[in-house]
Structure formats: C-alpha cells, structure tokens
Structure 1
Amino acid sequence: MLRIAFILLLVCVIWRWAFGQWPWAALSAKPTRSQAIFNARKLLGVEAGAGRDEIKAAHKRLIALVHPDRGGSNGQVHEANAARDLLLDALPDRGADIRVETDEHRPD
C-alpha cells in the first residue's frame, strides 16, 4: 500500500514538473463559450431568444445600477460590457446592415 502511495506521489510530482500544474488542476475545466453566454444572459437578465434591442436595453438598465457614480464599481461595469458584447456577438448576423462601398459602385 505504501508503494502505491509513493508511486502516486511520484507521478504527481512528475506531472507538475512536466506540465507546470498539479494533475487535479487539469480536471477543473475552463468555462466554455456556451457557459459564458449563459452567465452573460443571467447577468443581464435576458432570455435565450433575446434580440439586439432587448440586450441593449438590459445592458442599459444594469449599467444604471452598477455605475461607479451610483455606488457600483468599475469591475461591475466591465462585466456588464463584456456580457453585452458577448451576447451581441453571439447573435446571428442578419447581413443587411453593413454595405461595403467600392470605387466601382460608388455614385459619382
């Protein structure tokens, strides 16, 4: 039994030396994009099918609550902005909003 414990300890030390972290640190997974989107929705208080206008309105309401002038902190404002940006980036692109003008199509 002592031999197994020693081998396990040796494996852990070698793992730490090889990968720069303890083996159990690799078990805690980093949040995936879907988890980040879920957390952003939860922070802003919007549903899964929320559109651009709903996200912006929820962001505006949250910023009014957490702004440093109202007793909030800069960190809370940054979290709200990151949540808004993540949700807006996750929306499907409708495609008709942006036009690229080239010299060939530019009116004279």
Structure 2
Amino acid sequence: MVALVLLGVAWVLFSLRRLDRRFLMRGLRWIVGGGAMLVAIAALLFRRIDIAMIVGAVAASVLLRGRLGQFSFDSFGSAPSGNVSKVRSRYLAMELDHDTGELSGRVVDGQFAGWDLMDLGEAETRSLLTEIGQDTESVNLFESWLDTNRAGWREYFTESESASGQGAANGRDPVAEAYAVLGLKPGASDDEIRSAHRELMKGVHPDHGGSEFLAAKINEARDLLLGR
C-alpha cells in the first residue's frame, strides 16, 4: 500500500514538472486565493470578524492582484527574458532583441557619451564615424546599426561626398543639383517641385521604413528650390 502511494506521489510530481510554470502558478494562485476566501467565509459564520477581515484581505490580494505579500504569482511563473543579446565595445553598447529583430544602441565614450543612437542626426553620425574610426569593433557595430536603422546611408554618404568634391572642383551649381535630386529640369514650377517631392518621399520616408538620410536630401532640395 505504501509503495502504491509513493508511486502515485512520484507520478503526480513528474506530471507537474512537465506542465508550463505559468499554468501551475495560475492554478496555485486560485487554489490559495479560493482557500483563503473559504476560510474567511467560515470565520464569518463563526462570528470571528477579526479573522475574517485578515484572511479576506489575503484572499482579495491573491485573487485580484496575484500577490501574497512580496511574493508575486505572475512574476514567478513568467518566462525569463533571455532573448536579448548584448555586446559592448569601447565606444558603443548594443542590444539585439531576437523576438522583434530590433537593434538598439547608445554611445558610452567620447564626445557623444550618453546619446542614444536614434538621436544622432547626419552631422552627429558623420562626427561619430570619424571619432571611432580607429576602433574597428566600434565601427563594425555602428555600421551594423546604421544598416538596420538607416537604410541607404552608405549610398547617401558616398553620393554626398562625391557631389561635394566635384562641386568644389568644378564649381557646380547647388540649384542644378537640387533639380537633379528631384528629377526635374531647371525652371520647373513650384507645383512640379512639390509634386516630385511628394512622389519621392513615398518611397524613402523614415516612417515607412525608408532612409532618413535620403529623405533629408530630398527635403533639402525642395526647400532650396522653393526658397528661391
């Protein structure tokens, strides 16, 4: 008989180990809370108002808030958040959320220490790339972040630097370059400029997953032409 009881207990324990922890803790929450509520009702029937109030408060805390003092049934049964990878270099600290694919980062050293990478504009991005240029690990991390969060940044930087160099050497007209960015011929009307700007922004707007840098260049071209 004792052997059968021990086998039964062993089977129950084995079965419980195979169940999801959140399911177990949710069931334990209702067992503890429901038991406390029954005790409180029994205390009322026996006119022990003091016990009923104390035990009733415990039952309410367990059933409504999932807490028994400092113990939380919900946090104990929740799955650990170990799905985030962290890496750190001399200048940068990065986190990759494997569930969402989101890559976030911040600067931990240098003139931009404490900055979130999302707060960097074009000028700050260029300055940071120059500052960390001697640290290969930081450069690789930052370029990975830019590839993920600033699509098209390489092409934009290359084109900007090329245009800047040619403009300085050949005396190119920035107005002509602005027309070229918008795909317009010189002398286009304001309505044509606005229309071209709207069409281009549909494909590169940052809010729709496009490139912030390309969007900035298109906006700059529009503002320059309309400002004339």
TM-score with structure 1 setting the length: 0.50
Name the structure where strand makes up a greater proportion of residues: 2
Larger relative contact order (CA 8 Å, sep ≥ 6): 1
Higher-Rg member (1/2): 2
TM-score with structure 2 setting the length: 0.25
